[in-house]
Amino acid sequence: MELSERIMELIQNGYHCSQVMMQLSLDLREREEPFTIRALGAFGGGMFAQRTCGTLTGGVAMLSSYFERAEGESEPTGYRECGAELVEWFALQWGSLDCRDIVTFEIEEILKVCPGIMEQTFLKCIEILEAHGIDPTQ
């Protein structure tokens, strides 16, 4: 199935942007994590206030999910750099981090604009992971 088709399938099944981003990553890894998907629902629609875009928060969460804490570490190394790269790219790409600046809260516009943003952002996440020597299928 094409990436754009999978995105539309997830949207039609009621997934928010943040959930779509993580589910695409889980698809690559052939994993199921329903608790994670449910938890990411809170970031849909810019946390339902049209604030930070759910595609971005989902993408940062997706990137972070590839990093494990080493014993004795307070946080995994490397994930902040990957997240910062995505945030910087996203802001340049769409001129803002907030839903309200990127798309109106009208369902027709969301369905027209957001799937493309999700697809491009997912591909950027894969690019970032690979640039950091991480296999996105693992």
pLDDT at 77: 72
Residue 42 lies in a domain: yes
Residue 50 lies in a domain: yes
* Core vs surface per residue 52-78: b (16+ CB within 10 A) or e: bbbbbbbbbbbbebbbeeeeeeeeeee
What digits encode the pLDDT tens for the residues 115-132?
Answer: 999 999 999 999 999 999
| Alpha-carbon distances, residue 82 vs 29, 77, 106, 126, 135 (angstroms) | 19, 10, 31, 11, 14
Number of separate domains in the chain:
1
Residue 10 lies in a domain: yes
Residue 137 lies in a domain: no
Residue 138 lies in a domain: no
Residue 136 lies in a domain: no
pLDDT at 49: 78
User: Which pLDDT band, with edges at 50, 70 and 90, does 105 fall under?
Assistant: confident
Residue 125 lies in a domain: yes
Q: What is the pTM of this model?
A: 0.92
Domain that holds residue 30: 3-68+76-131
CA separation for the pair 25, 30 (Å, rounded) = 9
Residue 110 lies in a domain: yes
Q: Which residues contact 127 (CB under 8 A, 6 or more apart)?
A: none
CA separation for the pair 82, 31 (Å, rounded) = 22
pLDDT at 4: 96
What digits encode the pLDDT tens for the residues 2-50?
Answer: 999 999 999 999 999 999 999 999 999 999 999 999 999 999 888 877 8
User: Which pLDDT band, with edges at 50, 70 and 90, does 114 fall under?
Assistant: very high
Quickly tell me which residue has 């969460």 as its tokens.
Answer: 61
* Residues of the chain above pLDDT 70, percent: 98
CA separation for the pair 40, 74 (Å, rounded) = 23
